[in-house]
Chain A
């Protein structure tokens, strides 16, 4: 592969690295030459990801990112052990399907804590000069096609993913002078542990309908990981504040 598409000499923090898209990102980035810092709650599952990485200077930090006060410690440890940060992918996310009538303030707070606030907080911390690679950095937020389209029963999830999209644009403008690019990836439904759990709560008919809404079928985690790798690589040097839709044709209809 053309080395411009590679990620050599880049140190990349990935949240939600213990499963799904986050795990696949870690594996793909390591194959492209990056050192990856895996963040997730479950150490055992992070180890599973770690064992699949191509050799490099990688690190596991097991931490609940909803504990905001711990986030600076995460970045500090990562920089101390691996080096300054050139990439950040916020893939940690939680899903909830519940009609509006049953939603409660605490449900929104839990969704936003993981999907949005922890990601923005990490971006704030990584942006500090003492942690940032001298050549700048690229931040990628894993939003969702649900961030621009609606679905019944997903007020909490859709609004959190939409917040990532608008936050990305504001952040891109603010951080351009530090040579930090900020972008969003908007996947359609990807086959991950999270969607498996969602599918458990749906009837066969609903599942079939969801699959049929994707002209190219459901996505695989590496469909998204490759898009993230592009945004993190130097070939994307002029790309910031944008939404990259990767959804098998879902939103073309």
Chain B
């Protein structure tokens, strides 16, 4: 998956509708207003759907930036 597509999927999962809000690889997910315990479950479901990978909440708890989330999924999945 292209990094740009992944960020779009992430915005969908977080229900970020503000087109102008820029999310980069360095954005810390926990700093986003939309980030909460339910949005974590949405992100985990999105990863399962797109990559077929089941991420536990315990592993997800270690995620900070978008880039660290991509590392958790596996760098090989991204172009």
Contacts and interface: CB of A to CB of B under 8 A. Distances in A.
Interface of A: 97-99, 101-102, 152-153, 200-203, 206
Given A202-B37, A203-B37, A99 B42 contact: yes
B57 A99 contact: no
22 contacts: A97-B41, A98-B45, A99-B38, A99-B41, A101-B13, A101-B42, A102-B13, A102-B41, A102-B42, A102-B45, A102-B46, A152-B38, A200-B56, A200-B57, A201-B56, A201-B57, A202-B37, A202-B57, A203-B37, A203-B57, A203-B61, A206-B37
Contacts, number: 32
B15 interface: yes
Contacts of A152: 38
Contacts of A98: 41-42, 45
Interface of B: 13, 15, 37-39, 41-42, 44-46, 56-58, 61
Most B CB within 10 A of own CB, among A99, A102, A201: A102
Nearest to B48: A102
A197 B56 CA distance: 10
Most B CB within 10 A of own CB, among A152, A201, A203: A201
A206 B57 CA distance: 12
A201 B40 CA distance: 9
A130 to B, nearest CB: 44
Given A101-B15, A201-B41, A201-B57, 9 more contacts: A98-B41, A98-B42, A99-B41, A153-B38, A153-B41, A201-B56, A202-B57, A203-B57, A203-B61
Nearest to A107: B45
Contacts of A201: 41, 44, 56-57
A200 B13 CA distance: 21
A234 B13 CA distance: 52
A30 B3 CA distance: 58
Contacts of B46: 102
A198 to B, nearest CB: 10
A129 B8 CA distance: 58
Nearest to A104: B49
Nearest to A97: B41
A101 B41 CA distance: 11
A155 to B, nearest CB: 11
Contacts of B56: 200-201
